[in-house]
Chains A and B, each alone.
Chain A
């Protein structure tokens, strides 16, 4: 698989911890996240709001506002350098240059008082030391590449003259401007309509293939990552709870939280009108995290051990290599190893009898 290839990792995150110090207490937004990404690989990070997926991306870019936020532990090796140990100038040199970000809301992440061309040429002049004329030429190329019609005229328009989908294209052009090695896309299509979402995803896919850029796609929509990424990490309460290749995650998910997510969404291609099975309860309070597994309170399959000790992210036995889950039930000899979530009635009955 990707990790056994000789290509050295582009990104190696180890034990990343980001906390927010608020009046109510310490919010453990990201709590020990580790993952690796090879050059050109596409990774999806999936989770609900508040699970720490956006904070993870912002931490990688060193964009956490301080105060109240702070990266309290971990290393982020990007291209052989630790981003967390860099001083501000060094970070500024890679941010937007080797590592770029596409934000969720194109309405608020563009500067309303600068023209589109100025906002794109700024990075080109700063990072690639281009002069005005060359930068404008490159800007035009970029806008044409992302499919802005009559780009030559439109490049001197202001953001409010663009529609939401067009603004997101501008954001993508901006992210691509300095040929980054890694693009972090934080819910790039959540603010857009479905037909526009399809346009943008198609564009991202095409560009990633063309330039061999590594992508981290952050989303709450399992449908979006299914067609876009090679690997998926599922996050819950600031932790990665399951890691697998995309095909494997959908064919053979192991962590009960992932099951819950898959079961609770109605699918467009479903043949019958099945009753949805939601995940009962609410995500835990990130200030007072529960003892043991953070999902135990909502888990139908929990046993005593789950509320006593927190499981580690471990390779799932009898699954494809590189499939890891943070669950007592899926570890060697666990009670969920042989369970297929689609046909789990026996386990459901057992749970019912036990309680």
Chain B
């Protein structure tokens, strides 16, 4: 696959006035599978992300949805250069992050942060809350001593925790409170862009809403840009301005939120939406469900042509031969399907 601006980036750039905050073109992340003890040779690759194009504008929230193993978290991490992408470009405010290294990259990291899925695993149990939130301030030499403490307390207040919690350890907090600590840590360096990787999946229903509301408040307060990765379509619909649907390493559909939920074009998006249970028995008994057969194929050896053709009820001969182009079907609505609609 060549790394040229196609799909949403090429078409989006011409349509909009301001440059995008983030432009991802042909992003590919293959993890090698090796064999042999001393001399390791590569026998294959897990094609976790396989040519992804999209852009994120300043101040908006783009939701990235898909089932487990579709490459949504890997996409988030490859954008932040937590993995070195195999191919592709990640333009952040005009700078290609994949070409940066060392100090230049470290400087850029201040502007983009991540909120992790598991608040139990993403906080160091041996560090106090004050040290956890204060560490990025020290790393980026933003504050020291009393100034640092003041800033940490201010951050705790911003995320709705008691500012006098600085000397406590993570185990003293509940899941929702820990996630607030993780959010405070990511806010410490005043970033522009935050990748939220399933930030509420590990939380209870009543606590999820607290964290979603907090993320929304912080966005409007600090003019943040989010890439919101989740598998819960109702939550993504609630928080996102635009939504991208991923399947087996590729974005199969990208559109404005209302457009995508009202008129999904790709059969996979349609199936995904129809599979979500709605808490209303009156609606639920009347709904027609699209039940997909089988499981997601392995990303080591994805199906030929359109990756989805093995489970698609619309599939024809062409689908197993030609990889459908990711092209625009309506204003700001892209889909990769031979028979959309």
Q: Which segment, of A65-73, A75-83, A136-144, A267-275, faces chain B?
A: A267-275
Q: Report whether A268 and B207 are in contact in the complex, using a CB–CB cutoff of 8 Å.
A: no
Beta-carbon contact of A196 and B295 below 8 Å: yes
Binding-face segment, A257-265, A328-336, A337-345: A257-265
CA distance A224 to B276 in the complex (A): 9
Q: Which residues of A contact B301 (CB under 8 A)?
A: none
Q: Mark A190-223, 1 if CB is under 8 A from B, else 0.
A: 0001111111011000000000000000001111
How far, in whole Å, are A194 and B234 apart by their CA atoms in the complex? 12
Interface stretch, picked from B1-9, B38-46, B150-158, B282-290, is: B282-290
Pair B207/A223 contact, Cβ less than 8 Å: no
Closest residue on chain B to residue A269 by CB atoms: B278
Point out the residues of chain B lying under 8 angstroms from A270, CB to CB: 237-238
Residue of B237, B273, B275, B287 most packed against chain A (CB within 10 A): B275
CB B233 to nearest CB in A, in angstroms, measures: 6
- In the complex, which residues of chain A have a beta carbon less than 8 angstroms from the beta carbon of B287? 227
Contact between B281 and A276 (Cβ–Cβ < 8 Å)?
A: no
- Nearest CB in chain B: distance from A278 CB, A: 3
Report which of A194, A199, A226, A246 forms a contact with B278, defined as CB distance below 8 A.
Answer: A226
B284: contacting residue among A166, A220, A226, CB under 8 A: A226
The contact of A166 among B276, B278, B293, B295, by CB within 8 Å, is: B295
CA distance A194 to B269 in the complex (A): 12
Within the complex, what minimum Cβ distance (angstroms) separates A193 from chain B?
Answer: 4
The contact of B205 among A165, A166, A261, by CB within 8 Å, is A261
Give the contacting residue for B238; candidates A166, A202, A223, A273; CB below 8 A: A273
Interface string of B270-305 (1 = CB under 8 A from A): 011111111111111101010111111000000000
Once the chains bind, are A194 and B67 in contact (CB under 8 Å)? yes
Q: Are A275 and B233 in contact (CB under 8 A)?
A: no
The size of the chain A interface, using a CB distance under 8 A, is: 45
Nearest-CB distance from A150 to chain B (Å)?
12
Does A282 reach chain B (CB closer than 8 Å)? yes
Q: Knowing A227-B285, A246-B281 touch, does A266 contact B276 (C-beta < 8 A)? A: no
The residue from A193, A226, A276 contacting B280, defined by CB atoms under 8 A apart:
A226
| Interface contact A198-B275, CB-CB below 8 Å | yes
Central interface residue in A194, A227, A251, A261, by most chain B CB within 10 Å: A194
Residue of B nearest to A149 (CB): B294
Query: Which residue from chain A places its CB closest to the CB of B174 in the assembled complex?
Result: A282
CA distance A276 to B210 in the complex (A): 8
Q: Which residue of A lies closest to B294 (CB)?
A: A149
CA distance A250 to B285 in the complex (A): 13
A260 and B295 contacting across the interface, CB-CB below 8 Å: no
**Could you tell me which residues of chain B, from 29 to 79, have a CB within 8 Å of some CB in chain A?**
67-68
> How far, in whole Å, are A276 and B279 apart by their CA atoms in the complex?
15
A282 partner residues in chain B, CB cutoff 8 A: 174, 176, 207
Name the prevailing secondary structure of the B interface residues.
Answer: helix
Within 8 A of A (CB), among B161-203: 174, 176
Which one of B68, B210, B277 contacts A227 once the chains associate, using CB atoms below 8 Å? B277
Which among B206, B261, B281 is the interface contact of A279 at CB below 8 angstroms?
B206
Contact size class for B?
35 or more
Could you tell me the distance in whole angstroms from the C-beta of B287 to the nearest C-beta in chain A? 8
B278 touches A267 (CB 8 A): yes
Using A165-B295, A227-B284, A278-B213 as known contacts, say yes or no to A265 and B234 having CB atoms under 8 A apart. Answer: yes
Q: When chains A and B are docked, how far (Å) is the Cα of A276 from the Cα of B287?
A: 25
Complexed CA–CA distance, A62 and B55 (Å): 55
Tell me whether B279 and A262 are in contact (CB under 8 A): yes
Given known A-B contacts A163-B295, A268-B237, A268-B261, A223 and B208 have beta carbons under 8 A apart = no
B275 A250 Cβ-Cβ under 8 A: no
Interface residues of A in 145-178 (CB under 8 A from B): 149, 163, 165-166
* A278 in contact with B207 (CB, 8 Å): yes
User: A49 and B204: CB pair below 8 A?
Assistant: yes
Q: Cβ of B235 < 8 Å from any Cβ of A?
A: yes
CB-CB under 8 A from B237, the residues of chain A are 266, 268, 270
B295 closest partner in A (C-beta): A163
Among A216-245, those with CB < 8 Å from B are 220-224, 226-227
Complex contact B295–A226 (CB within 8 A): no
B-chain residues with CB within 8 Å of residue A166 when the two chains form the complex: 295
Is the Cβ of B279 less than 8 Å from the Cβ of A194? no
Is A8 part of the binding interface, using a Cβ–Cβ cutoff of 8 Å?
no
Chain B residues near A220 (CB-CB < 8 A): 204-205
The minimal Cβ–Cβ distance linking A51 to chain B, given in whole angstroms, is 9
CA of A201 to CA of B285, assembled, Å: 13
B318 close to chain A: CB less than 8 A: no
Distance between Cα atoms of A10 and B180 in the complex (Å): 46
B91 lies within 8 A of chain A by Cβ: no
| Interface pair B279/A278, CB less than 8 Å apart | no
Contact with A along B219-257 (1 / 0, CB 8 A): 000000000000101110110000000000000000000
State in angstroms the CA–CA spacing of A82 and B141 once bound together.
68
- Cβ-closest chain B residue relative to A50: B204
Contact A260 B206 (CB under 8 A): yes
Docked pose: A195 CA to B291 CA in angstroms = 7
Residue A321, interface by CB 8 Å: no
How far in angstroms is the closest Cβ of chain A from B279?
4
- The residue on B at minimum CB distance from A230 is B281
Q: Are A223 and B213 interface neighbours, CB within 8 A?
A: no
A223-B278, A247-B282, A262-B279 known; A280+B210 contact, CB < 8 A = yes
For this complex, 27 residue pairs linking A to B, each with C-beta atoms less than 8 Å apart, are A48-B205, A193-B231, A194-B233, A195-B67, A198-B277, A223-B279, A224-B277, A226-B283, A226-B284, A227-B287, A250-B281, A261-B206, A264-B209, A266-B234, A268-B233, A268-B234, A268-B237, A268-B278, A269-B278, A269-B283, A276-B212, A276-B213, A276-B238, A278-B207, A278-B208, A278-B209, A278-B213
- Nearest first, the 9 A-B pairs at minimum CB distance are A223-B277, A278-B209, A266-B238, A227-B284, A264-B209, A198-B275, A222-B279, A193-B67, A279-B206
Given A194-B233, A196-B295, 4 more A-B residue pairs with CB atoms under 8 Å apart are A163-B295, A199-B292, A246-B281, A276-B238
Interface residues of A (CB under 8 A from B): 48-49, 149, 163, 165-166, 193-199, 201-202, 220-224, 226-227, 246-247, 250-251, 260-270, 273, 275-280, 282
The interface of chain B, by Cβ under 8 A from chain A, is 67-68, 174, 176, 204-210, 212-213, 216, 231, 233-235, 237-238, 261, 271-285, 287, 289, 291-296
